[in-house]
Amino acid sequence: MIVGVVLLGILTSLPNFLTEKQRESLPGFLPSDTLSLGLDLRGGVRLLWGAETDDVVTSRLNNIADQVRDIRRSEKGLNFRNIRTEGHSVSLEVTRDDMAELAREKLRELTTVTVGAANPLMGGGIQELELAQDGNKFTLTLTEQGIEVQKRDAVARAMEVMRKRIDPDGTKEVTIQPEGSDRIILEVPGASDPEEVKRLVGQTAKLTFHDVNTNASAEDLQRGRVGYREKILQSKEGYSLAIKDRVIVSGEDLIDAKASFDQHGKPAVSFTFNTSGAKRFGNHTKDNIGRPFAIVLDNEIISAPNIQTAILGGQGQITNVGSVADAQELATLLKAGALPIPLTVMKERTVGPDLGQENIDAGEIAAVIGFLGVIVYMIISYGRFGLASSVSLITNLILIMGALSFLGATLTLPGIAGIVLTIGMAVDANVLVFERIREEQNNGRKPFAAMEHGYGEAFSTIMDANITTFIAAAVLYMLGSGPVQGFAVTLAIGILTSMFTAVVLSRFILATWLKRARPAKLPL
């Protein structure tokens, strides 16, 4: 078992010492993953985004008002008036006194307890909405916890959209994490142009399809004279159209989008709707053949084609998108989805690869100095036993590297600090054991008994020290972020591997030597 664990550590760490070509030639059953380097080692872009979450409350209130209208439509005889949003509440009145009780019963269904909590460390549920009644007047009010949950949920969804936009294939090892309730940290290792990252993330990418008011004249458009629930939007080419507010189908109904070419060989974006989107889009095109419809992206008309025939398959194409690169970028944005909240860059930092290499070199020097210092000290202090401890220490480093590679953990500069600290901690257990063995031998025990008692009696102390340090590492990981988490990961892995190498491997080496040499006295 001991030999098997050591061999597994060697195999998992081996790819780090091979070139990319050598790794590709490894047999399929062997691991090929290498250490992932963080931003401070590899270089890249770090951006701190501020999330504007105030609109989330407004959107949620509008959604509640729509639910109230749905109740009015579904219940015969139940009619509401003066449905309006104000502050954090939606208020309404029931037109008939005999319907007040039914209204209360139906509105109460909207106030059911929501699973989850504003604090992610707490379980249970929360009361998102509270219902109040004054005669025929009802008020639905968002609670403080409900507002907090809406904001946290919006930030979480924004982080997921960011990840899909920046790393659609999951190969760039980007770091995206919240900071507080309304900030997001984005780190993109290997990136060199922060403007490109900001442009890709910052676009809202809200795609909607609208009916066009073809009766609006050029004068109407110039003077801003439009009908009820209509608005005027500009196109990329500069012309204006009056479009209906009602959304025929939106980007939320897209299940796929990819760059392609239109019938004239120009770049385009092909898209596919889900079942409900395909049905709505098909019905609209069937009923409006010969009329135009507008494709709107972030309040700009990107295309306004005429409907030539009913589009019933749920598939379509956006033309006039620019270059091939523009088509690929638009396809990525549409596939990732729209940002649920606006984001603004509050702070940015670019780490060059030269600085990253300096960090790697400095970390390597620190690790080598610490490593050699411990080995020299142990050999001088404990002789042959110190040599066995040094073998365990080398194996410990190999196991740490193998574990980090296998788990896909990202190694940062603080992570290297955690490894350097582990080097010092790894030998601490051996010092405790060797001093106890020396004490047992001085008390007159024979070599076998002295070593047996030394490892046995020191084990509980070693366990106590490592368990408490592991708990500290776990707390750092759960409550910290970024560099703190990188330090905690390497520290925790180092504790586990050093427990194995110091207590199990070194004992195995010394016991094997003791059985063969059978010395009259242990050379401590």
Q: Is residue 344 in some structural domain? A: no
Q: Report how many domains make up the chain.
A: 3
* Secondary structure (DSSP) of 167-192: -TTS-S--EEEE-SSSEEEEEEET--
- From 99, 121, 149, the end of a domain falls on 149
> Do the bridges between strand 254-261 and strand 175-178 make them parallel or antiparallel, or are there none, so unpaired?
unpaired
pLDDT tens digit sequence for 377-429: 999 999 999 999 999 999 999 999 999 888 877 787 788 888 888 877 778 88
pLDDT tens digit sequence for 222-248: 887 888 778 888 887 788 888 888 888
**pLDDT > 70: what percent of the chain?**
95
Same domain, yes or no, for 327 and 258?
yes
Q: What is the mean pLDDT of residues 100-117?
A: 75
Helix (H) or strand (E) holding 410: strand 410-411
Q: What is the pLDDT of residue 117?
A: 42
Bridge partner list, 85: 90
Same domain, yes or no, for 419 and 302?
no
Same domain, yes or no, for 145 and 215?
no
Q: Would you say residue 62 has pLDDT above 90? A: no
Same domain, yes or no, for 362 and 323?
no
86 pLDDT band (50/70/90 cuts)? Answer: confident
Q: Residue with structure tokens 């007159």?
A: 444
Who has greater pLDDT, 472 or 70? 472
Same domain, yes or no, for 113 and 241?
no
240 contacts 219 by C-beta, under 8 angstroms: no
**pLDDT > 90: what percent of the chain?**
16
Q: What is the mean pLDDT of residues 304-326?
A: 81
Q: Would you say residue 121 has pLDDT above 80? A: no
Mean pLDDT of the chain: 83
Q: Is residue 178 in some structural domain? A: no
Q: Is residue 49 in some structural domain? A: no
Q: Would you say residue 3 has pLDDT above 90? A: yes
Same domain, yes or no, for 363 and 494?
yes
Q: What is the mean pLDDT of residues 71-81?
A: 82
Same domain, yes or no, for 377 and 510?
yes
Q: Is residue 272 in some structural domain? A: yes
Same domain, yes or no, for 437 and 375?
yes
Same domain, yes or no, for 390 and 309?
no
218 pLDDT band (50/70/90 cuts)? Answer: confident
Q: CATH code at 440?
A: 1.20.1640.10
- From 102, 127, 149, the end of a domain falls on 149
pLDDT tens digit sequence for 28-39: 777 777 877 777
Same domain, yes or no, for 70 and 213?
no
Same domain, yes or no, for 68 and 38?
no
Q: What is the pLDDT of residue 436?
A: 92
Q: Would you say residue 316 has pLDDT above 50? A: yes
492 pLDDT band (50/70/90 cuts)? Answer: very high
Q: Would you say residue 122 has pLDDT above 70? A: no
Residue 405 is encoded by which pair of tokens? Answer: 């590679």
- From 128, 149, 170, the end of a domain falls on 149
Q: What is the mean pLDDT of residues 153-182?
A: 78
Q: What is the pLDDT of residue 224?
A: 79
Q: Is residue 17 in some structural domain? A: yes
Q: What is the pLDDT of residue 119?
A: 44
Q: What is the pLDDT of residue 250?
A: 83
Write down the H helix ranges in 384-505: 384-407, 413-442, 447-479, 483-499
Q: Is residue 137 in some structural domain? A: yes
Q: Cα separations (Å) of 474 from 115, 163, 176, 177, 467?
A: 26, 26, 20, 18, 10
Q: What is the pLDDT of residue 173?
A: 66
pLDDT tens digit sequence for 14-27: 888 888 888 888 88
Give the structural domain span for 211. 207-338
Residue 432 is encoded by which pair of tokens? Answer: 């405790």
Q: Would you say residue 435 has pLDDT above 80? A: yes
Q: What is the pLDDT of residue 497?
A: 93
Measure the CA–CA gap between 158 and 195, rounded to whole angstroms.
19
Q: Is residue 343 in some structural domain? A: no
Chain-centre distance of CA 246, in angstroms? 34
Q: Is residue 478 in some structural domain? A: yes
**Its pTM surpasses 0.75:** no
Q: What is the pLDDT of residue 356?
A: 66
pLDDT tens digit sequence for 336-350: 777 777 888 898 888
Same domain, yes or no, for 460 and 408?
yes
Q: What is the mean pLDDT of residues 115-137?
A: 67
